[in-house]
Amino acid sequence: GNSVTQMEGPVTLSEEAFLTINCTYTATGYPSLFWYVQYPGEGLQLLLKATKADDKGSNKGFEATYRKETTSFHLEKGSVQVSDSAVYFCALSRGNTPLVFGKGTRLSVIA
């Protein structure tokens, strides 16, 4: 079946550090891939998405590239801020099946 594996957290970084959160997936065919962010006490917000191989999603300085050959969709940001502290979920969608989430990665950015 479809599945998503994210790196275990928590991840703690200093402000302005480079961020990478790894995400790999297992799915038949060509799923759509998403990163959602959940700030403390809030719901999920769509951060970025990619719907086909080699697509790059980007938003608010975050980027992720859909890599079919490595079945990956790693999230990156060049310089994190304290306000980026949140839980990040990688997810995939394939056909008429429910959205499949990774377990989430908690990011803490310290000043």
Partner 1 sequence: DTEVTQTPKHLVMGMTNKKSLKCEQHMGHRAMYWYKQKAKKPPELMFVYSYEKLSINESVPSRFSPECPNSSLLNLHLHALQPEDSALYLCASSQDWSGSRETQYFGPGTRLLVL
Identify which of residues 14 and 26 has a Cβ nearer to partner 1 in the complex: 26
**Backbone φ/ψ region at 78: left (φ over 0), alpha (ψ -120 to 50), beta:** alpha
Q: Are 105 and 21 in contact (CB under 8 A)?
A: yes
Q: How far apart are CA 52 and CA 63, in angstroms?
A: 15
Q: Which of 12, 14, 26, 51 binds partner 1 (CB under 8 A)?
A: 51
Hey, is 83 helix, strand or coil?
helix
Site string for partner 1, 62-91 (x = CB under 8 A): ---------------------------x--
Asked if residue 56 binds partner 1 (CB under 8 A), the reply is no
* Residues facing residue 14 across a β-bridge: 110
Measured from the CB of residue 94, what is the shortest distance to partner 1 in angstroms? 5
d(CA 92, CA 97): 10
The verdict on 104 binding partner 1 (CB under 8 A) reads: yes
Q: Does 94 bind partner 1 (CB under 8 A)?
A: yes
By the rule CB under 8 A, 42 interacts with partner 1: yes
